[in-house]
Amino acid sequence: MADPTIFNYSILDDEGLHNNTDLFVAYDGATETEAALEAAWVAVGSALDKIIDGAITGGSITIPLQPYPGVLGVGAWKATPVNGNNVNQVMNLNFNNDFNSYATSILLPSYKESILTPTRVPDLADTDLAAFIALILGGVAGEVFPNSRDLHDLNALRDAFLTVRKVRNQKRKTIVTP
């Protein structure tokens, strides 16, 4: 199991401090449903709750996915990056919803230079960028709808701009003690 599914539980103690615990799980992905995974997460949480003093305040199920190999009549994703922008060069797409005035940002790191106008702003008329925005606004196959953090449907693109985000080198350092 190179990339396990992770059950995560957030635990609150009597001093108001939070900590997390993770449990790596295996299952038959061909037969297991989302509802069954959620029921298993609840069952493990119930057993965990009986052996801790803290209160479980939430958690998550993380299912790692591999790059798309190209099936279902759609071309495969790139296997290697193309020379161009680095991941710190980001296009920011802000979307509105009808519930509140907060924008929901979707960040596109390493965007293609070809989707910019000659004045170096996002070209919203670019075919691929327009298709991506339409997918965000219209949903995927009529079943999955991108939402705001508060679970409100995104209904319009507010603005799009370029920015640079600092990407920290995540390499671990080895500390040698005498």
Give the per-residue pLDDT at 18. 94
Question: What's this model's pTM, rounded to 2 decimal places?
Answer: 0.73
Identify the CA nearest to 48 among candidates 59, 36, 34.
Answer: 59
Say what the pLDDT of residue 168 is: 66
Give the residue among 88, 92, 85, 123 at the shortest CA–CA distance from 107: 92
Helix, strand, coil percentages (3-state) for the chain, rounded to 5, are 15, 30, 50
Q: Does residue 132 sit in helix, strand or coil?
A: helix
Structure tokens at 75: 């071309």
Along the 178 residues of the chain, how does pLDDT read in single tens digits?
457 889 999 999 999 999 999 998 888 877 888 899 999 999 999 999 999 999 999 999 998 877 776 655 456 777 778 888 788 889 999 999 999 999 999 999 999 999 999 999 999 999 999 999 999 999 887 778 899 988 899 999 999 999 987 766 654 444 545 5
Q: What is the DSSP letter of 73?
A: T
Tokens of 112: 């293609």
pLDDT at 41: 95
Q: How many Cα atoms within 13 Å fall on the side-chain side of residue 152?
A: 13
- Strand order of the sheet with strand 89-97? 104-109, 89-97, 154-164
Q: How many CA atoms lie within 13 A of 77 on its CB side?
A: 6
